[in-house]
């Protein structure tokens, strides 16, 4: 018996889940929103090249939306800004303090990114040139960081306690820094090495100068010229590098990619893309007078395992919620634990987008496609889901229901084929408190590189997804 093609089409519409390209059938208004949102996001990236810079930008934006630092807020204030050590923090919107036991709707992302950090004593001379030694932070392909302009961003705390901010390499008039590579004419032995050994970690040293002090030869003459320049400009001495956090990041602004400008290319999409979009969704949903208690949390140290007192493995989230409860007069450990356990959390982090040049590492049925919406990731981990938080089916159903209500374009994703590799997020550390957690973020090309690529339509639907989460759960 033959089947009517129309009947098959109707059955397909009813039963099949069809991924859809976000650029198809959009209105002029949607197109305008998509491109305007990405322009705003690019501005955030350009002013937020370190965790500390990101926190400064976040505070400025939060202040413009009526948020008050918790130490200055009154009990009548309903929008709080929490800053922990200038490298992590949270935005808290309180609808009703009497409902703390019901938990919060929480969205959390990280504002640290893969990069190069200066060592404690970085400056040295070699072959009449001066270099600074670095130590890479996070999972990078070391060869991607050579022969490109790098900018220096950071903070120095002098012995007296004075804080000195440093930014060199972003203004067109500034010098930049770079890491040298071997010329192809002499790289026969280098070319035979595996990619992970092409550039060794100890070779990631930045070129910083070559002029001796007063143009005269002498021991450490070049090094002393540079130290004198730093002292004259910033008032620092060599020992101050010990109490400094100085990073090398790609110089220059975020850029549009493609003839049609449909992508944003930049360093730091992972995970400032989710940090910015989660924050913007919070601003917009609280403006609608939501009846829920909401949090947007900005973690540090995710790229090195969420360690330290600013990472998700610490009790940072617990301290944030406790500070909020104490502010409104609740000093009750049971209330704190119930509030955490009854919360619902989006672990907002990026995922891999299928690259046609490297398709073999992905399972196409369960991988993110560029331009096909936000990625909903039920579990991460490696091999047999090791190290993952696997979201309960009931919670995943709640989240996708919320997305569908607001016509969010979404797709389910895994981080590569089984046994191909894998990775983790902050999700499992938050689930420790008993709350439901699921990963959700934007697909990227060239993740962890100095120039990651995101689709503008995916950026838009990630924002819509975070807003729907705050709105409907």
Q: What are phi and psi of 257, to 5 degrees?
A: -125, 135
Which residue, of 185, 217, 250, is where some domain finishes? 250
- Per the domain annotation, does 2 fall within a domain? no
Same domain, 435 and 465: yes
State residue 3's pLDDT score: 62
Gap between the Cα atoms of 58 and 40, Å rounded: 13
For position 336, which CATH number holds? 3.40.630.10
Same domain, 246 and 332: no
Domain of residue 206, residue span: 115-250
Q: For each of the chain's 473 residues, which pLDDT tens digit applies?
A: 566 778 898 998 899 998 999 999 999 999 999 999 999 999 999 999 999 999 999 999 999 999 999 999 999 999 999 999 999 999 999 999 999 999 999 999 999 999 999 999 999 999 999 999 999 999 999 999 999 999 999 999 999 999 999 999 999 999 999 999 999 999 999 999 999 999 999 999 999 999 999 889 899 999 999 999 999 999 999 999 999 999 999 999 999 999 999 999 999 999 999 999 999 999 999 877 788 999 999 999 999 999 999 999 999 999 999 999 999 999 999 999 999 999 999 999 999 999 999 999 999 999 999 999 999 999 998 888 888 899 999 999 999 999 999 999 999 999 888 988 888 899 999 999 999 999 999 999 999 999 999 999 999 999 999 999 999 99
Same domain, 214 and 227: yes
Same domain, 108 and 121: no
Find the largest Cα–Cα distance for the chain: 96
Supply the DSSP symbol for 386. B
The H or E element that residue 45 is part of is: helix 28-46
Same domain, 382 and 350: yes
- Our count of domains for the chain comes to 2
The alpha carbon of residue 34 and the mean position of all alpha carbons in its chain are separated, in whole angstroms, by 20
- Per the domain annotation, does 255 fall within a domain? no
- Per the domain annotation, does 333 fall within a domain? yes
Which residue, of 250, 281, 296, is where some domain finishes? 250
Instruction: List, in order, residues 6 or more apart from 14 with CB less than 8 Å away.
Output: none
Residue given tokens 């203004």 in the structure block: 171
Q: Which residues pair with 375 in a beta bridge?
A: 411, 441
State the angle between helix axes of 269-286 and 456-472 in degrees (0 to 180), rounded to the nearest 10: 50
Instruction: List, in order, residues 6 or more apart from 192 with CB less than 8 Å away.
Output: none
Same domain, 55 and 200: no
State the angle between helix axes of 456-472 and 28-46 in degrees (0 to 180), rounded to the nearest 10: 90
- Per the domain annotation, does 1 fall within a domain? no
Gap between the Cα atoms of 103 and 110, Å rounded: 21
Same domain, 223 and 128: yes
**Cis (ω within 30 of 0) for the bond into 386?**
no
State residue 423's pLDDT score: 87
Same domain, 242 and 301: no
């Amino acid at each position: 018996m033959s089947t009517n093609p129309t009947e098959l089409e109707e059955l397909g519409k009813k039963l099949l889940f069809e991924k859809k390209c976000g650029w198809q059938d959009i209105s002029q208004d949607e197109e305008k929103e998509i491109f305007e949102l990405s322009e705003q996001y690019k501005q955030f990236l350009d002013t937020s090249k370190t965790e500390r810079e990101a926190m400064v930008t976040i505070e400025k934006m939060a202040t413009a939306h009526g948020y008050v630092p918790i130490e200055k807020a009154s009990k009548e204030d309903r929008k709080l800004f929490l800053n922990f050590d200038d490298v992590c923090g949270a935005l808290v919107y309180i609808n009703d303090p009497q409902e703390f036991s019901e938990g919060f709707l929480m969205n959390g992302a990280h504002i640290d990114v893969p990069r190069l950090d200066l060592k404690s004593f970085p400056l040295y001379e070699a072959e009449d040139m001066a270099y600074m030694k670095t130590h890479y932070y996070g999972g990078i392909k070391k060869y991607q960081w050579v022969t490109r302009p790098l900018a220096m961003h950071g903070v120095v705390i002098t012995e007296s306690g004075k804080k000195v901010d440093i930014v060199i390499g972003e203004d067109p008039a500034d010098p930049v820094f770079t890491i040298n590579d071997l010329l192809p004419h002499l790289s026969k032995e280098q070319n035979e090495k595996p990619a992970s050994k092409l550039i060794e970690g100890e070779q990631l040293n930045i070129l910083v100068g070559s002029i001796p002090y007063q143009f005269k030869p002498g021991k450490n003459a070049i090094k002393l010229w540079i130290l004198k320049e730093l002292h004259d400009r910033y008032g620092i001495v060599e020992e101050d590098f010990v109490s400094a956090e100085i990073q090398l990041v790609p110089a220059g602004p975020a850029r549009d990619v493609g003839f049609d400008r449909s992508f944003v290319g930049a360093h730091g999409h992972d995970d400032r893309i989710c940090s910015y979009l989660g924050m913007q969704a919070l601003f917009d949903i609280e403006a609608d007078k939501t009846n829920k208690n909401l949090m947007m949390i900005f973690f540090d140290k995710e790229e090195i395992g969420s360690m330290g007192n600013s990472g998700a493995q610490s009790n940072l989230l617990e301290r944030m919620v406790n500070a909020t409860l104490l502010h409104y007069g609740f000093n009750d450990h049971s209330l704190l634990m119930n509030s955490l356990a009854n919360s619902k959390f989006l672990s907002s982090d990026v995922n891999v987008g299928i690259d046609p040049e490297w398709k073999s590492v992905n399972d196409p049925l369960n991988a993110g496609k560029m331009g096909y919406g936000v990625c909903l990731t039920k579990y991460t981990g490696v091999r047999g889901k090791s190290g993952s938080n696997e979201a309960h089916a009931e919670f995943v159903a709640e989240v996708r229901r919320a997305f569908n209500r607001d016509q969010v374009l979404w797709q389910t994703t895994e981080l590569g084929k089984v046994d191909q590799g894998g990775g983790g997020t902050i999700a499992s550390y938050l689930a420790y408190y008993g709350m439901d957690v699921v990963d959700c973020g934007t697909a990227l090309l060239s993740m962890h590189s100095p120039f990651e690529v995101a689709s503008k339509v995916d950026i838009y639907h990630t924002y819509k997804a975070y807003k729907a989460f705050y709105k409907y759960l």
